[in-house]
Amino acid sequence: MAKKILIGLLVVLVLIQLIRPTRNESTAMSANHIEKQYIVPENVKLILGKACGDCHSNNTVYPWYAQLQPGAWFINHHIVDGKKHFNLSEFADYDPKKADHKLDELVEEIEGHGMPLESYLWLHPDAKLTETEITEVVDWANGIRKEIQTTYPEAFVKKDKE
């Protein structure tokens, strides 16, 4: 009986290898990438690349284990969820108020050490942000927020209910 169960599990494991999520890879920088709209200093680009880009852009660098199921499903779930919350590759498509809000969330998450996720850091320890890196990203994000608020003040005016 145990042998049949083991064979059944092995068959299932082999079969699930055929069900693969779509990979999050692009060959070029999106026209809506944050770097196309705002200045991103080289130090911030490096930080965003090592700690944010895999889950919050349209171009994930996949590790070897992303070829195996159910690991790829787990990774794909994180990517889809991450891009839903903040997508560097589609940032220019956000309206000013949403862009400001997304940058405010970015600041809140990294200052509170909520990002990168602990589960990501287990396999990507180099993505752990130092206090200096946190300060650099926070200062940059807050600068972009000021630029957005100055350029689009009408987006931040509260409208009275009629």
Q: Say whether pTM exceeds 0.75.
A: yes
Distance CA 92, CA 104 (A): 16
Out of 4-8, 54-58, 101-105, pick the least confident: 4-8
List Cα–Cα distances, 132 to 20, 64, 84, 146, 158, in angstroms. 39, 31, 27, 21, 35
Q: What is the pLDDT of residues 8-37, one digit of tens each?
A: 887 777 776 777 778 888 878 899 999 999
The two tokens of residue 139 are 């200062």
As a three-state string, the secondary structure of 118-135 is HHHHHHCHHHCCCHHHHH
First to last CA, the chain: 72
Q: What is the pLDDT of residues 35-76, one digit of tens each?
A: 999 999 999 999 999 999 999 999 998 888 777 888 788 888
Residues 6+ apart with CB under 8 A from 126: 50
Distance CA 151, CA 92 (A): 14
Identify the pLDDT of residue 85.
Answer: 94
- Of the candidates 139, 133, 90, the residue with the CA atom closest to the CA atom of residue 115: 133
Q: What is the pLDDT of residues 109-125, one digit of tens each?
A: 999 999 999 989 998 99
Q: How many CA atoms lie within 13 A of 138 on its CB side?
A: 15
Distance CA 112, CA 115 (A): 8
Identify the pLDDT of residue 160.
Answer: 60
